[in-house]
Amino acid sequence: MGDDRRRPGHSLQIARLFGVRVYVHWTFLVLVALVVAVYRGTGVHSLAAGLLWIVAVFGSVLVHELAHCVVAQHHDVVVDDILLLPIGGISQMRTIPRAPGKELAIAIVGPLTSLGLAVAFGALAVLTGATVWPPTLLAGSWLARLAWLNVLLGAFNLLPALPMDGGRVLRAGLAMHEDRRTATVQAAKVARVLALLMMAAGVVWDVWLLLIGLFVLLGAGAEEREESARKDDHPGG
């Protein structure tokens, strides 16, 4: 049979893992340009370290997304690809399981994997005598930095904001007690509040929070519209 999967627009395939194609979006060039600008004049070694850190960051993001994909495949969900963007990764699945238990399993495994990596890197940092406190992502032992990075990835993705992992966990939990459409509407309301808070924080502190908040706001609306368009909803999924 032929492969009918299409490449995400403006992206480059860099790998194929567990049968899932991995793409990098062209906007990564902007991220690389930012790193070059920040480390300009600091020497080749510092620039190389900065670029290598970006690779390490998105290596952790990729493991997180692969965990989603492997569990999804276990539940007979077709996974088209993983798209890596400067604000994170997206696992492109043909469908999201209607059964709350399956959606819960697929959603929660990503953050749990990130937190597992955090424990592993943290343990290695301690065993090698590295300083793990206070938390930092910008200096010190790479093991400690990777540990805190994965704590951040795991915890941030557990925020109950659709279409993030925590939002899907929230919807799955709600759908165990009421119909999926109502669960989606309620989860989307929570997501919009969190998205506005992130966007407000982004205006004050960090543009990345602004972009992520916008992504959540648009994604929550898309999830709600998609669910409202369905005609086959049943209580409990």
Q: Which residues are known to be catalytic?
A: 65
Distance of CA 51 to the CA centre of its chain: 20
Identity of residue 128: T
Q: Residue 181 in contact with residue 233, Cβ under 8 Å?
A: yes
Distance CA 28, CA 26 (A): 5
Backbone angles phi, psi at 22, to 5 degrees: -115, 125
- Parallel, antiparallel, or unpaired: how do β-strands 20-25 and 79-85 relate? parallel
User: What tokens does 65 get?
Assistant: 């997304």
Tokens (6 digits) for 202: 């982004």
Q: Which of 30, 217, 59 is nearest to 153 (CA)?
A: 59
User: Could you tell me how many residues make up the chain?
Assistant: 237
How distant, in Å, are the alpha carbons of 25, 93, 163 from that of 199? 23, 27, 16
